[in-house]
Amino acid sequence: MRDTPTPMDPRGLPHVTPPAIRLFNTMTMQKELLQPAIPGEVGVYVCGPTVYSYIHIGNARTFTSFDVVVRYLRHRGLKVRYVRNFTDVDDKIIKAAAETGEAPVELAARYVEIFREDTRALHLLEPDFSPRVSDHLPEIIAIIQKLVDKGHAYASQGDVYFSVSSDEDYAKLSKRNLDELCVGERVQPGEQKREPLDFALWKAAKPGEPAWESPWGPGRPGWHIECSAMSAKYLGETFDIHGGALDLIFPHHENEIAQSESANGVTFARYWMHCGFLDLEGAKMSKSLGNVVRLRDALTKVDPEALRFFFLATHYRHPLSFSDKALADAETRMEYFYETLRKVDERISGKDFGKGPLHGDPQRFFTEFESAMDDDFNTAGGLGSLSGLFGMMNELTDKPPVKDKALVGRTLHALREDVRRVSSVLGLFEDAPDAWLLRRRERAVRERGIDVAEVERLLGERTAARAAKDFAAADRVRSELKEKGVEIMDTPAGTTWKVAPLQG
């Protein structure tokens, strides 16, 4: 009997059965099974920041969402090539540099480092590639030239424009009607394009602006062409997942598709994913509207991990309402998680509970987590499964339903390991519990003006009263501390305290 040959992929390598991950494809407006072009490997491109200022929390939500997408794909055994660009050549950068007196390139480089510092605080992984426009002018000029040669673009007095009418499929992502788009559109003064919907691929140099040499004279690239050039360089002319914020669908992503597919004659991206808006007091967060909360400012008011939890507690495609109360609730929830982990670590650290059965069915929580994440990266559902997991850990540490300490210990150890696996996907629970809880307390102490020395003095009095079995005095100290906003917790490892949440 002959052996059945191992299936091979197009490169002659053994076929890899992909995990059953379904994602919502904006192009088809339905959930589809992720089937990478190269089995076992996924190329992901996410539109990064235009580095002329601090990013706002709406930007941060988008980048956090795709950080989790990449983490989860890797968790499921896929090899991911993740690209997120920096737009460091742009009208907004030139304007901001004129206001500060810096050279545009220097201002952009400064904000690149600020972006990296702020996103590291949010536990965002560095992409495999973070290309900058200023480093990819040859690739950009080459794709523009290809479009000109194929009749999809035209030069006009030093500018180069893409001819929208040359692309029969234009607006297939946004599903917009071209006739309706043309209503009210005009060729603006200074533009040399033929039709109102045509968009710039190359802009002729103006006095005092950065410029590069090209076949059409000195100038700089338009906004949309950069992503077509850089994604092709690092992921190929066709790749798997293109992501970004919802407001990039039109015109940015629409124009990327038009210029890439017109130049290369193949599908640009196989799946399109878009992150929903973040609302501030009922309005979409937008720099143009002036209702912006910068990520850097938010991180002075809330723990970075709590902010990350706030983002992930809502499905990435859904709108998310931002408020001080929502952040406070997220931080309180993270405090509960870390207090639970501290109790569990105190119970199991350094102990060997041997091999044997576990209590109940602790594995079900991680199975539920993966099931939620397989369904369009549903972090909200995934976090829901953690409620059961942490609830079981608290039950086993506070009121164990069984007397077998080894059984309880093995079960807690298994649950703690599942938390670590979840952590690698969600980027949460990465700190030592004691360190996180101390940081949280220190910030709350500053905000509420609590005298730590006075708290420690009163705790000393309570300890002495308890040692003398003067429990009435100990209770009076507890009440006095409660009035100061301090909550006492007696644990097997000793007495600790935290700042009680504000009521109302």
Q: Which of 220, 214, 157 is nearest to 187 (CA)?
A: 157
CB atoms under 10 Å from CB of 457, counted, come to 12
Q: What is the pLDDT of residues 139-191, one digit of tens each?
A: 999 999 999 999 999 999 999 999 999 999 999 999 998 877 765 555 465 56
Q: Which of 69, 81, 500 is nearest to 311 (CA)?
A: 69
d(CA 85, CA 115): 12
**Whether CATH 3.40.50.620 fits 22-298:** yes
Give the CB-side neighbour count of residue 344, counting CA atoms within 13 A. Answer: 29
If you search the block for the tokens 């305290």, which residue do you land on? 497
Contact 458, 481 (CB under 8 A): yes
Q: Are strands 278-280 and 320-322 parallel, antiparallel or unpaired?
A: parallel
Which residues, at least 6 apart from 283, have a Cβ–Cβ distance to it below 8 Å? 289, 291
Q: What is the pLDDT of residue 286?
A: 57
Does residue 5 have a pLDDT over 60? no
Does residue 24 have a pLDDT over 50? yes
Please tell me whether 47 is known to bind a ligand: yes
Q: What is the pLDDT of residues 406-442, one digit of tens each?
A: 999 999 999 999 999 999 999 999 999 999 999 999 9
Q: Which of 96, 102, 103, 101 is nearest to 49 (CA)?
A: 96
Strands (E), 8-62: 22-25, 30-33, 41-46
Does residue 37 have a pLDDT over 90? yes
Contact 393, 412 (CB under 8 A): yes
Look up residue 438 and give its two tokens: 């101390």
Look up residue 288 and give its two tokens: 């143009």
Please tell me whether 256 is known to bind a ligand: yes
Domain spans of the chain, in order of start: 22-298, 325-433, 450-499
Which residues, at least 6 apart from 108, have a Cβ–Cβ distance to it below 8 Å? 51, 52, 86, 88, 89, 93, 132, 134
The sign of the dihedral angle between the CA atoms of 48, 143, 180, 92 is positive
d(CA 84, CA 479): 53
Contact 228, 85 (CB under 8 A): no
Q: Which of 452, 360, 456 is nearest to 404 (CA)?
A: 360
Give the DSSP H/E element, type plus range, for residue 154. Answer: strand 153-156
d(CA 305, CA 435): 13
Please tell me whether 275 is known to bind a ligand: no
Q: What is the pLDDT of residue 190?
A: 59
Q: What is the pLDDT of residue 8?
A: 42
Fold of 325-433: Four Helix Bundle (Hemerythrin (Met), subunit A) (1.20.120)
Please tell me whether 287 is known to bind a ligand: yes
Global confidence as pTM? 0.91
Look up residue 253 and give its two tokens: 């992503």
